Amino acid sequence: MTNDDFRMFLAALLDDDQVSAGEASTIEALLSAAQRAHWQRALLLWRCRPPGEADAWFVAAIWPDRDLKQFCQDLILTLLFGLPFENGGPAPTGSLGERAGRHFRGRFWGLAGGHPPGIPGGYYGHWAYPSER
């Protein structure tokens, strides 16, 4: 398993060529043992896919397999929220400080213009800041 394979898999899954090697490395490090087994299966399928047909490949090879489909959904949630997800829910891991640090790296908070709930600061988005005028 190479980081580049994982990055390319994520980029195709999300239809986003901007997945960085750092993002891919962070998410790959968060995979549980069960998810690593799913990734090994997905990697074998990924390496055998027809060139240039990632969308059709996901529908044909991944979605019919319940475990691989859930694995892919967990990857998407992990990338969005910065916390590890397993079986559709957050996986309990690490200390509060460690989790908070990862939480800030999730893409969702930048897209929403806010901050993760429960993180000190008392504000959740641009609307809570004083007006610039």
Q: Is 22 within the bounds of a domain?
A: yes
CA distances, 46 to each of 62, 77, 101, 122 (Å): 10, 20, 31, 44
Q: Is 133 within the bounds of a domain?
A: no
Residue whose structure tokens are 């898999």: 9
> Model-level pTM greater than 0.75?
no
- Within 13 Å of residue 125, how many CA atoms lie on the same side as its CB? 8
Q: What is the mean pLDDT of the chain?
A: 76
Residue whose structure tokens are 């929403």: 112
If pLDDT is split at 50, 70 and 90, which confidence band does 13 have?
confident
Q: Using CA atoms, how far apart are residues 104 and 116, in angstroms rounded to an integer?
A: 7
Inter-residue contact 32 to 39 (CB < 8 Å)? no
- Give the residue numbers spanning the domain of 56: 3-128
pLDDT in tens, 46-70: 888 888 777 788 878 888 999 999 9
Mean pLDDT computed over 86-109: 64
Q: Total structural domains in the chain?
A: 1
